Each structure stands twice: as C-alpha cells, then as structure tokens.
Structure 1
Amino acid sequence: MNDKKLLRYSRQILLPEIGIEGQQTLLNSTLLLIGMGGLGAPNALYLAASGVGHLIIADFDQVELSNLARQVIHHTNDIGKDKVISAKEKMLAINPDIQITTLTDLSEDNIEDWVQKADIVLDGTDNFNTRFRINQACVTQHTPLVSAAVIRFEGQLSVFKGYEKNQPCYQCLYPTTGNNDENCSNNGILAPVAGLLGTMQALQAIKVILNLGEQLTGKLMMVDALDLNFRTIKLSKDKHCPICNLSQ
C-alpha cells in the first residue's frame, strides 16, 4: 500500500479491528453488486469509498426520472444512460484507484460464472425470481450472499451462507410458492429507507470480508423506519429446501 492509499484509508486503518492488514484485505477483495437501484446506489458508493479493490456491478436498466429520488448514485443528467455506466462514473470519481467491471447482461446462463469470481454477492434486486436465482448461484458456488430489501417504510437485511451445514439460504426464508412480487414500483418507498438499508448492506459485506462483529448470518434484521424500530430474529435451515439441502 503506497502513501496515497495509506492517507486515503487512514481513518479506517486507525481502527484496531481493521488496521493495515484489514485494509489490504479489502483492497484484495472482489464483490458482485447486483442491482444499481435504491439499494445498490448507496452500497456501491460506500464500498468504492472504503477501498474494495474490485467491484463488479450488474444492472440491465437505464436511468429514469422516477429513479432519482432514491437512487442517489444517479443524477439528472444521467437520465437515459445505462445505470452501470452512471454508477461507475460516480464510483471512480470517489475512488479512481479501484477496478470496476460493468455488466448489463447478467443472466441465467452466466450468473454462476460471475458469482464464482466474487468473494461476496450483494443482492439489491426487487423481484423474487431474480433473488431465487442469485441465491441458488451463491449456494452452488459457496459464496456469501448479503441480501437487503425495502418497501414503503420497511426493510430487511440478512447474510446467507446456505452452503454451510446448519445455515439457511434465502429460499429457506422465502419458499418459491405464495410470493406476490411486491416492489416499490407498485407500493412506493420513502427515499432514505433505501439509503439506510443499502448502507447497512455495505457495512455487512465489509464485516463478512473482515470477519468482524455481528454478521447477521442465520438471522434476519427487520427495520420499521416509521417507528424507528429494529428487530432481529433467528432463521433456521429448512430441511426440505430444494436449494441448500442438495448442496450438502
């Protein structure tokens, strides 16, 4: 680490739980961020600023006016631009020393290849089918999944390691049947709620990388932003789960 990087990350390096060794671990890490929307916007900015060395960002969509209230990585003059291009520009403006790979074609056919390249996956998507496929790829590739979701004034956050014997995967929490794909497009969301959960998602990813503190593995944090209430419940592995039980 050169003098410029030591200065850039000096406030993190001062933390005894991180230090130079921990910062170097961040610089050596690769994270896959799926979705550059309300969750992906803040987590991308903070992970870039924190010095994660390689960030792979995936989104097929373009910036729209209705995105701007909560997707703070995109600006008015980005309307019509691919979200990954818009996001990359802001991330490099904060930290030009990191590597950013953009994907607009993440699909059923290539998701496992990209998950395999990552140390951790952050899921910031807004529909169950995509989340199920991301979860399946993470279980198959033995990659930790940091999952966040937001709607209205509410949010959820968890870390899934379903490839481990006693740990649940995302599908243990949400079976494929009975989901109605609620999302903020249909139900609305208060903008800072996305910022709160997206920032916490970045925090959890760093804690997993560095093996720090409470990582929410096998737990679900539920946030009620209207009452400012945080509640955490324990999650159990579903012995009938068709995804993570087949990986054992």
Structure 2
Amino acid sequence: MAMVVANGSNLVCGGSLINDRYVLTAAHCLALGFSQAETKVVLGEHDRCTADSRTVILSVEKFYPHPQFQKNTNHADAMLIRLNMRVTFNEFIRPICLPKMILQRSTASRFAGKTALTLGWGRADHGVTVCSLRVVALEIYETQSCPTKIPTLLCAGSHSAAGRDACQGDSGGPLQVRNDDRKFELIGIVSNGIECGNQDFPGFYTEVPRHLPWILKVTSQDSMYCWR
C-alpha cells in the first residue's frame, strides 16, 4: 500500500507498489493540480497521524498518466509514478503481484461473485479522512450488473450491506484478491463512484489486467516485481 501526499502530509490519493521503482495509482489524481516537485510517496504507512520509523518517504521522478485517459469519463483511469530511487523490500514494504492477462475474458467475468479487498485512508462515516489504514471486503459484480458502461471500469460493492465502499481520498488505491498462490493480486484501481457506501451503487475500479501491456512497457526495463 502506498500513500500519495503533497505539500508535506496532505493526503492526495492511495496507490499500489508494483515493483521496486513504480507505484500504480489513478490518473484523475493529477487533476488535483499538484506538481511532481510537490508530491511524495509514503510506503510502510499504517497510522498517518503518528510518526513511524518504519515508513519510507520518496520523491517523484516522473508521472506517467495512461495515454488514453479521459477525465470526463474516467476511461483508462490509471497512472504510474516513477520513484526517485529504488525501494528496499522488507517485512512492511513489498510489491503487490500483478495479475495475469487473459484476453478472452474480462476481469469481471473471471472474478464475478468473489470477494476483493480495497484499502485506504479516505473519508469514513463521519465525512473526514481517517488516521489508520482501513480495509473493506467487497463483491465483484457481473458486467451486466455494473451501472457504468465504460469498458475499462469494473464494479465492486455490497448487495446486502450499506457502508461498504471506497470514498473520497481512497482514489488510486488497490482492489485486490488472493490468487492461487495465496498472494495478493492487483485487479483494480479505485476510480470513482456514485455516493459512498450506498448498497444500490457499487464503486468503479479501473481494470488492471486490461492495461498490463502499457504497465509493463513503462516499468519492465529495470524493475523487480513481486516474486511468484
């Protein structure tokens, strides 16, 4: 889990460390107007309101928004952040595994009905961002049950319980499942939604497997990924 901050400690977005040099987040986070010089990435964080010697704060070398991103629809809402130095993995900081790319099936059809987890420091019930990292279990929806028609977005939410959702401040964070090797696999990026925590409206997540060719093209030159 990564936290993208600006001007010191202002929470901008979440993100996922995918190898020892890159973080994957949402492209619409750029719309908040922060420059590379103002932006930092925090790794190993849990309680962002308390100083912790285990955290690592890194500067940004470059933003790579997806070349097909459309901010009016959130089509291809993905962005890679190249860090200014390599990350040393340890007990608290390690990369999440990238998913396999299966062209014949969408992510929704592969995982529909399964439980996924999303994490973040975004707004909770009382409407303000939280100090401690939160996690919520969500169900991945079938394509026909997803109210968005943007092909690069998938839906996850709760048919039975209100309040289970990502919210403002969680953008860019992961939607993850456990793969057959019992490792966490990144299948989505928190993108947008309709309200927060309304059981009638699932959250929308950028579909990561669809964008794997672009992710690997940008990041695979000199990076160490999740061991598999």
Question: TM over 0.5, yes or no?
Answer: no
Query: What TM-score results when the alignment is normalised by the length of structure 2?
Result: 0.28
Bigger proportion of residues as strand: 2
Bigger proportion of residues as helix: 1
Select the structure with the greater relative contact order (CA < 8 A; seq sep ≥ 6): 2
**Higher Rg of the two aligned structures:** 1
